[in-house]
Amino acid sequence: MEDRRIKIGLIGLGTVGSGVYKTLESFEEIEIVKIAVKNKNKNRNIQNLDYSLLTEDPYEIVNNPEIDIVCELIGGINPAFELIEKSIKQGKHIVTANKELLAKKGEEIFNFAEKYNKVILYEAAVAGGIPIIMPIKTILAGNKINKLEAILNGTTNYILTKMDTENSSYDEVLKESQTLGYAEADPTSDVEGYDAAYKITTLATLAFKQKIRIEDVYREGITKIRSEDMKAANDLGYKIKLIASAKMDDENCADVRVHPMLIPKNSTLAHINYVTNAVSLTGHPVGHITLSGPGAGEFPTASSVVGDILAIATEIKTTDYPLPMMRCNHNKIAKCINILDTQNKYYLSLNAKNNKGVIGNIGNICAENDISLESIVQKYVCSDNTADITVITETCCEKNMQNAVKAFNESEFINKVNNLIRVQI
């Protein structure tokens, strides 16, 4: 009797790969033929794992003619890019969770896949267990999407939530999150915003149907956020979140960025806490919708990977051109706005001398740079006769705001610019 099971090769058996293996055990129509790992003798937290499936040579998967779908779950550019490209050339479809590869090499690998009539699915690469890629490509395909705002990194959201709820410093919470396994030993990719930047690059490319280049995405991390900023934001009616955003203006120019932002407490994203992720989307005719859920982890991410495997498996032997709606063909490169030319509101924290004329000096510098103030607050004077002053501006040009910051740093009245954070408009 003919074996009609779809044959799978897994490249990577870490957190996500383990979840995929465990999940696929319940699907009789799927067979895992081979699993590539760095060390096949390593003990793994998988009951009944067939160690004979393990290999340290990923080309045993790439070159195996039995395998229909390759799942790349190792991340990074090398060797993932070469393995995917050669797998496609060998006639295999691809499922990946590799956000960095998609952001930096997406156009290249999608064009290569189309050349060989193969499908690349990547639901797990943007928001873990939150289904967003397939909805944008299918059920929301009739919408003109013009705005995305998202929390796409669980590590930074956990850190900011703990800083907010416990009045802890960034360094304290980072150490705790590393102990708990939420943050890597080297947390740079998360805390400096790289991870979120990779994800919003792919998400914006899909939503706007134009290629967003990673080098056009403004990125700023959370390492400068202080517990004092958290308290000040709360007093003003805001929460601080690391927001990945993408907007398309009336002239078809994209503004894509990742940075901390003061979010009004009455907004949905202000209530997305700890490791939860969320994507808010605005378009016509759907209006405004938000999807939230676990953005990482063994089984949430495995859910998206397995969903992609099954989507390919249902069509792989029934059509010569599977999943046409899920293919990427965005050849037009989007024109992106430089961050200096954007319009924003700002939270500005200044440490100033407790002298006459300080508030007037702040107002004068802002006025000279065409910046209007919404509020300015000084609550108390410190023992060293200095005061922290909190300013919220009206909407103004980023270039003007940066010029004002330079002026504050040179002012005889100002000791230090503590922080500058953009405010959600």
Nearest-CA neighbor of 329 among 110, 173, 125? 110
Class of domain 6-125+298-326 (CATH, top level): alpha beta
Q: What is the mean pLDDT of residues 77-90?
A: 98
Report which residue type is found at 38.
Answer: K
Nearest-CA neighbor of 418 among 340, 349, 341, 361? 349
Buried b (16+ CB within 10 A) or exposed e, 361-395: bbeebbeebebebeebebeeeeeeebbbbbbbbee
Q: Where are the beta strands (DSSP E) in 51-118?
A: 54-55, 69-72, 93-96
Active site residue 104: no
Catalytic residue among 105, 162, 199, 247: 199
| 25-56 tens-digit pLDDT | 999 999 999 999 999 989 898 988 999 999 99
Whole-angstrom distance, CA of residue 130 vs CA of residue 286? 19
Residue pair 163/309 in contact by the 8 Å Cβ criterion? no
pTM here is 0.96
Whole-angstrom distance, CA of residue 214 vs CA of residue 219? 10
| 183-196 tens-digit pLDDT | 999 999 999 999 99
Q: What pLDDT is stored for residue 1 in this prediction? A: 44
Report which residue type is found at 118.
Answer: K
DSSP string, 273-302: -TTEEEEEEEEETTEEEEEEEE-SSHHHHH
**Cis amide bond preceding 260, omega within 30:** no
Report which residue type is found at 54.
Answer: L
pLDDT band with cut points at 50, 70 and 90 for residue 383: confident
Does the pLDDT of residue 123 top 60, yes or no? yes
- Tokens linked to 266: 């009455």
Q: What pLDDT is stored for residue 83 in this prediction? A: 98
Domains in the chain: boundaries: 6-125+298-326, 133-295, 340-423
> May I ask the CATH architecture of the domain 340-423?
2-Layer Sandwich (3.30)
User: Which secondary-structure segment (H or E) carries 99?
Assistant: helix 99-115
pLDDT band with cut points at 50, 70 and 90 for residue 2: low
Does the pLDDT of residue 330 top 80, yes or no? no
Residue pair 401/393 in contact by the 8 Å Cβ criterion? yes
- Tokens linked to 324: 């046409």
- Tokens linked to 93: 């479809």
pLDDT band with cut points at 50, 70 and 90 for residue 181: confident
Alpha-carbon Rg for the chain, nearest whole angstrom, is 24
Burial environment of residue 183 by CB neighbours within 10 A (0 to 12, 13 to 18, 19 or more):
buried
Q: What's the CATH number of domain 133-295, 3.40.630.30, 3.40.50.300, 3.30.360.10, 3.40.30.10? A: 3.30.360.10
Nearest-CA neighbor of 9 among 75, 76, 55, 46? 55
- Tokens linked to 68: 């229909």
What share of the chain has pLDDT > 90, as a percent?
91
Q: What pLDDT is stored for residue 3 in this prediction? A: 66
